[in-house]
Structure 1
Amino acid sequence: MVERGIDWYVAYSFLGHGGRHVVPVYYNLHGTQGGLHSGNELSWNDVLTFPVEAGGVPGKAVLNIGGTFVVVK
């Protein structure tokens, strides 16, 4: 699977882009982002791609993931 690299935002301000990874499909995706304070609203998004086969036809799946949460320290 190819992980594009996670993007981080606080209050709609871009904080950074994580590194691209090529990992096995069973890999436990993870990430860290410093400089956060209690009450910050943290948003993130990433794109995962991996090979698939449907009805004997090979292809590529693209999975867009993301979310938003409030930091509590």
Structure 2
Amino acid sequence: MFSTIKRILALLIVLSLLAVAGLTLFFAVTGSEYFWGMLVLMFFYPVFLWAMALVHKWAKKSKEENQNRS
């Protein structure tokens, strides 16, 4: 069950990254005013996702260390 949820969340993240890249390309081609915002999002969204994964790994490691000490 937990593995299925992880797979679904991973698929949603991949789809959201593809949507951001696709919308950036679309706004660039159409010359929309939203292009620069999407370009910034295209760089910072993956960095944000990486940082959240790093924090999760760090918190999980700290929790396991605290349980081992008890």
**Which TM-score applies when normalising by structure 2?**
0.24
RCO (CA 8 Å, sep 6+): is it higher in 1 or 2?
Answer: 1
Compare the two structures and name the one with the higher helix fraction.
2
* Higher Cα radius of gyration: 2
**Which TM-score applies when normalising by structure 1?**
0.23
Compare the two structures and name the one with the higher strand fraction.
1
